Amino acid sequence: MGSVPVLVDDDPSGAELDGLEVRATHAGGMEQLARCEVVVKSPGISRYRAEVTQLEESGVAVCGGLGLFMEEADRARVACITGTKGKSTTTALAVHLLHGLGYHARAGGNIGHPPWDPAGGPDPDYWIIETSSFQVPDLKRAPTVAAVTSLSPDHLDWHGSVERYYADKLSLCTKPGVAHALVNGSDPELRSRVDQLGTNVQWVGADDVERDRLWSEELALPGSHNARNASMARAVILALGISADDGALAAAAEGFAALPSRCRSLGQAGTVEFIDDSLATNVLPTQSALEAYDGRALALLVGGQDRGIDYAPLGRSVSERSGPTLVVTMPDNGPRIGAAVRAASSGSHDLVDVVDAPDLASAVDTAYDWASAHKTGGVVLLSPAAPSFGRYHDYGDRADAFARAAARHDLRP
């Protein structure tokens, strides 16, 4: 475009990019940004930060990459999928089904290739974009198809409150251009917020999930939450104008590979199965994982970065399990989760126990010893209900550490 960009980072540490200096935000960077016409911010920079407000009030346009892409995209061939959890799997499922039905589709956003990156090559037939709550507020226009998979408190540090987090996420359904707002009707929080979903709501409910089992079982994904994800993916495809019967969907579903760290089995050590659900960074996905393994002896590993969310609902879910349960807590907020479990189980459930561990490796050893005592086949489940930051680079780094600790117990695929 013939423009020289100004690059600003909160902590650049002397970095350069293509020979250009990266300025520190509070060491001249803000002054440089204030002289720009447009600032394209990283999604991780909260729209509610004082610096963003300051730029906008001074007349600088602040946008995001996804918003820029959406301004010029053929929005009839784009679907945006959001939700506290389930959006990645639903996105991947929709892309997989489209491929199986003979279309060229790409995942973008939080997974896949950023659709605004020109290095990605020619546009596919359809873009299926996993859209985080960080990205939705940057959209001035939305695609024809929007979908919401679930709603539960998260990212309070970015949004400032639960209510604003919910409002930002659900605003995807009411952006200009949306003709189909597909919403998981099994989620009570979403049901209670129908007034925030606009006039184009199409509920995907229990009847749809039951009907879709005729083909969704070909995906071989555990848990009722994944059956709902499959129905959401089908609804997205139908809303894009593509029709396919159950037989065609069953054929298209074959060969789907589950995404990493989402209730993925690492194998067994004797009778003990190890499950990596490291991407479970809040209460909702951990509740889904508990449901997927209900009835089995389960050692649950929890804890990570504390975002201040309420763990009482998770405590209740643990206390209601039908099988024996050991909750092993890890730093930093594991003890707080453990306290919620103890409070929910106190005096009413002798099948639940809680122990504290100093780190992930120790937690795995404790969980394995306990699960090995259950001859019917116990499960060691890493579903932390908290982010990994502070101790790990990301959820994948935490998953790798879990796999290494499991491998010490002669783990076999």
CA distance 147 to 83: 8
> Which residues are CB-contacts of 243 (< 8 A; sequence separation ≥ 6)?
none
Q: Which CATH class is domain 264-407?
A: alpha beta
Residue range(s) occupied by CATH 3.90.190.20 in the chain: 264-407
CB atoms within 10 A of CB 8: 23
Report yes or no on whether pTM surpasses 0.85.
yes
The one-character DSSP state at 389 is: B
Superfamily of domain 67-253: Mur-like, catalytic domain (3.40.1190.10)
CB atoms within 10 A of CB 184: 27
> Which residues are CB-contacts of 12 (< 8 A; sequence separation ≥ 6)?
22, 23, 24
Region label for 19, one of left (φ > 0), alpha (ψ between -120 and 50) or beta (otherwise): left
Burial classification of residue 196, based on how many CB atoms lie within 10 Å of its CB (0-12 exposed, 13-18 middle, 19 or more buried): middle
Q: What is the pLDDT along the chain (413 residues), one digit of tens a residue?
A: 788 899 999 999 877 888 888 999 999 999 999 999 999 999 999 999 999 999 999 999 999 999 999 999 999 999 999 999 999 999 999 999 999 999 999 999 888 888 988 787 888 999 999 999 999 999 999 999 999 999 998 888 899 999 999 999 999 999 999 999 999 999 999 999 999 999 999 999 999 999 999 999 999 998 899 999 999 999 999 999 999 999 999 999 999 998 899 999 999 999 999 999 999 999 999 999 999 999 899 999 999 999 889 999 999 999 999 899 999 999 999 999 999 999 999 865 578 999 999 999 999 999 999 999 987 889 999 999 999 988 999 999 999 999 999 999 999 98
Residue range(s) occupied by CATH 3.40.1190.10 in the chain: 67-253
